[in-house]
Amino acid sequence: MPGASRQFLVGLILLLLAGGAIGWIYGYAERGILVAALLALFWQVRHLLAFVRAIRTGDFSVFRQGDGIWQQIFSAFSYQQGRAGRYKRQYRQLLREIRKSTDAMPDGAVILNEANEIVMCNRAAKTIAGLKPKKDRGQRVDNILRDPELTRLLRSNEFAQEIDIPSPVRDDGWLNCRVVPYGADQKMLFLRDVTDRIRLTRMRRDFVGNASHELRSPLTVISGYLDSMSDDPSVIAEWGQPIAQMRNQAQRMNRIVAELLELSRLESAGPADDTQLVDVAKLLTICRNALYQAGETPEIELEVASDAQLRGNNSEIESLITNLLSNAIRHTPADGRITLRWETSPAGGVLSVADNGEGINAEHLPRLTERFFRVDPGRAREDGGVGLGLAIVKHVLGRHDAKLDIESERGEGSRFICRFPAGRLSVSAPVPLRQPPASP
Ligand code: ADP
């Protein structure tokens, strides 16, 4: 190109000089230069128009030969065009590969923009959720998959959460939805068909519910007879001990059945009503007094730092407090201390039960809310532990959009913290700490 430019400039100067010389011979040197410049301009405009035409038609045969400036421009242009074409082909190939690999995924994947509109979706999203890759592009995904839980998930920034929604294409089908953020304001919605899992969970829940229900009547009869036999003076003395043991075990079975029934009721009910108001501070006092009266307990301190009420189910929250408090009592020595606390902040409400009892080894913490899990099954059986209390607590919290955190150290004590979202509170005004008088 530099050679061609020099050649072009030299040619132009020579032409202008020749024009000037011829003009000078005739006494009009300037006009001679002007005519030469016009000729040069005309030549360039012709080539420019030919080049524009060639770009339009793709026929560059005029520019293929020679080494003038226009041939140089053409070869630079065609080199860049070839490079752009190669990039385009590579990019298309890459897109095809990405599409093929996402289409091979068994789960649905939907790319969403910041307004939750569909940018792209794979084949599985079409099969399991009925999305149409072309027709639904640009539509808001929650206008197509209509479910209030999904709308809430998309609006919230709690991307760690997963929800199950009814399938829009399959009767009795269920989809698991998870949102993963990426790039600038983009999200990927993953959809998985979990119909089999939900069906199995329901079967298990129904089985446990039905079996517990069926066991209730025979157990009531057995307990009734054992109660009358233990009070009956005509029963021979040697039977006293076995009857007492049978009564004990029957009572334990009654408790297991009652807790299993409560669990299966909690599992099958939807989220707890949020129109009822629960006075948490009052409930804490009631539960504490009830347990104080039930027997010898460690000192129970009550710290109420908020008069906010909770939108939810009164008897479920009462069961939650009773479970946590009776656990703390069972695992804290009589000279220990238990603290019940209710406080709120703009983030929500926190109900905690802390003790300075025996504590729990860190390795057991993740399994505490599993049904029938006990750190020491033998001891738990002796002190009346069934292993369902914390499972009930977890379900009650789930139905109130809340979660449970457990902090514990062996030999130091434990703290069970229930965190309720701000949306479940009726007022969130902090009040000075107050200590209701202790009951005997
Ligand atoms: P359980 O009816 O046996 O108390 P839970 O589900 O309520 O069943 O509790 C499960 C296990 O967690 C208990 O067996 C006990 O080992 C442990 N645990 C619960 N609360 C406490 C606590 N406050 N201190 C120490 N261990 C606890």
Query: Does some domain include residue 431?
Result: no
Query: Does some domain include residue 435?
Result: no
Which residue has 């939907």 as its token pair? 110
Q: Are residues 185 and 221 in the same domain?
A: no
Can you say how many angstroms the Cα of residue 373 is from the centroid of all Cα atoms in its chain?
Answer: 27
Ligand 1 atom showing the smallest separation from residue 355 Cα:
23
Instruction: Indicate which CATH number applies to the domain containing 170.
Output: 3.30.450.20
Of residues 191, 123, 126, the one with CA closest to residue 154: 191
pLDDT in the model for residue 86: 93
Q: E-assigned strands of 42-147?
A: 108-112, 118-121
Q: Are residues 251 and 352 in the same domain?
A: no
Q: Measure the CA–CA gap between 389 and 255, rounded to whole angstroms.
A: 11
SS (H, E, C) 47-94: HHHHHHHHHHHCCCHHHHCCCCHHHHHHHHHHHHHHHHHHHHHHHHHH
Query: Does some domain include residue 438?
Result: no
Ligand 1 atom showing the smallest separation from residue 388 Cα:
6
Residue type (1 letter), 245:
Q
Q: Which residue has the least CA distance to atom 16 on ligand 1?
A: 375
pLDDT in the model for residue 195: 95
How many A from CA of 394 to the centre of ligand 1?
Answer: 13
Q: Are residues 246 and 316 in the same domain?
A: no
How many A from CA of 388 to the centre of ligand 1?
Answer: 9
How many A from CA of 148 to the centre of ligand 1?
Answer: 36
Ligand 1 atom showing the smallest separation from residue 359 Cα:
25
Using CB distances shorter than 6 Å, the residues near ligand 1 are 323, 327-328, 331, 355, 357-358, 360, 368, 373-376, 380, 385-391, 414
Q: Are residues 233 and 296 in the same domain?
A: no
Query: Does some domain include residue 439?
Result: no
Of residues 178, 202, 196, the one with CA closest to residue 188: 178
Rounded mean pLDDT for each run of 10 residues along the chain, 440 residues in total: 76 91 91 92 88 82 71 82 91 90 90 92 93 91 91 83 90 93 86 94 90 92 92 88 91 91 85 86 93 83 93 94 94 94 94 95 93 81 81 94 94 96 76 47
pLDDT in the model for residue 65: 66
CB-count burial class (<10 Å; 0-12, 13-18, 19+) for 389: buried
Q: Are residues 308 and 412 in the same domain?
A: yes
Q: Measure the CA–CA gap between 257 and 263, rounded to whole angstroms.
A: 10
Q: Are residues 127 and 63 in the same domain?
A: no
Q: Which residue has the least CA distance to atom 25 on ligand 1?
A: 359
pLDDT in the model for residue 438: 45
- The single-letter DSSP state of residue 376 is S
pLDDT in the model for residue 437: 47
- Beta-bridge mates of residue 350: 343, 419
pTM score of the predicted model: 0.67
Q: Which two tokens stand for residue 122?
A: 């794979």
Ligand 1 atom showing the smallest separation from residue 392 Cα:
6
What backbone phi and psi angles, to 5 degrees, belong to 428? Answer: -130, 35
Could you say which of 166, 193, 220 is where a domain stops?
Answer: 193
CB-count burial class (<10 Å; 0-12, 13-18, 19+) for 440: exposed
pLDDT in the model for residue 1: 54
Q: Are residues 118 and 10 in the same domain?
A: no
Could you say which of 171, 193, 215 is where a domain stops?
Answer: 193
Q: Are residues 289 and 184 in the same domain?
A: no
pLDDT in the model for residue 380: 67
Q: Which residue has the least CA distance to atom 23 on ligand 1?
A: 328
pLDDT in the model for residue 190: 94
How many A from CA of 246 to the centre of ligand 1?
Answer: 25
Mode of pairing for the β-strands spanning 337-345 and 348-355: antiparallel
Instruction: Indicate which CATH number applies to the domain containing 234.
Output: 1.10.287.130
Query: Does some domain include residue 222?
Result: yes
How many A from CA of 330 to the centre of ligand 1?
Answer: 8
Q: Which residue has the least CA distance to atom 19 on ligand 1?
A: 327
Query: Does some domain include residue 341?
Result: yes
Q: Measure the CA–CA gap between 97 and 87, rounded to whole angstroms.
A: 15
Could you say which of 193, 217, 242 is where a domain stops?
Answer: 193
Domain range for 236 is 197-268
For the chain, the domain total comes to 4
Classify 339 as helix, strand or coil: strand
Q: Are residues 377 and 284 in the same domain?
A: yes
Q: Measure the CA–CA gap between 273 and 424, rounded to whole angstroms.
A: 10
Of residues 116, 85, 225, the one with CA closest to residue 181: 116
Instruction: Indicate which CATH number applies to the domain containing 304.
Output: 3.30.565.10
Query: Does some domain include residue 70?
Result: yes
How many A from CA of 232 to the centre of ligand 1?
Answer: 37
pLDDT in the model for residue 440: 39
How many A from CA of 375 to the centre of ligand 1?
Answer: 7
Query: Does some domain include residue 98?
Result: no
How many A from CA of 407 to the centre of ligand 1?
Answer: 13
SS (H, E, C) 345-358: ECCEEEEEEEECCC
Mention every residue, 6+ apart, whose C-beta is less than 8 A from residue 224: none
Q: Measure the CA–CA gap between 229 and 219, rounded to whole angstroms.
A: 15
